[in-house]
């Protein structure tokens, strides 16, 4: 029986490994470039002040362009989701941190900030202050 020699097999495996590495590098670098060039919003903290019925959300723009906050989504203790308008759209510059206050009804569990019309933050746990 004849087969592929060891040197040829090694060369083929090496070529496949290099090609796979280049594909992975290209994908990751494009993904990171897109994320960095566009605005990216993260929630630093979220506190619900029970006596005031007010939710204070501190957000930070970690991207390279401004973001426009459109709505605040609050997931309540009974697992219902409620959307609150922020009034005038809030523009947050790159690197800027801002606190947004929203008067809400019910006890919040999580908060999600919607921005740039189609994007949103990861859900953040709301801390209750009595």
**pTM for this prediction:** 0.71
pLDDT of residue 29: 84
pLDDT in tens, 31-67: 776 665 677 899 999 999 999 999 999 999 998 889 9
Q: Which residues contact 117 (CB under 8 A, 6 or more apart)?
A: 68, 70
Considering the segment(s) 41-129 as one domain, its CATH architecture is: Sandwich (2.60)
Q: How are beta strands 97-103 and 81-92 bridged, if at all?
A: unpaired
Compute mean pLDDT per 10 residues along the chain, 130 residues long, and list them: 80 95 91 70 96 96 90 95 85 93 93 91 95
pLDDT of residue 81: 95
């Amino acid at each position: 029986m004849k087969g592929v020699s060891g040197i040829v097999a090694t060369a083929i495996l090496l070529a496949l490994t290099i090609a796979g590495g280049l594909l992975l590098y290209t994908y990751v670098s494009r993904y990171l470039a897109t994320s960095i060039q566009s605005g990216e919003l993260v929630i630093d903290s979220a506190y619900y002040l029970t006596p005031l019925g007010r939710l204070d959300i501190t957000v930070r723009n970690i991207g390279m362009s401004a973001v426009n906050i459109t709505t605040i989504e609050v997931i309540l203790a009974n697992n219902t989701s409620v959307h609150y308008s922020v009034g005038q759209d809030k523009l947050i510059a790159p690197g800027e941190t801002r606190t947004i206050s929203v008067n809400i009804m019910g006890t919040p569990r999580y908060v999600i900030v919607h921005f740039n019309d189609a994007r949103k933050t990861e859900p953040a746990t709301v801390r209750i202050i009595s």
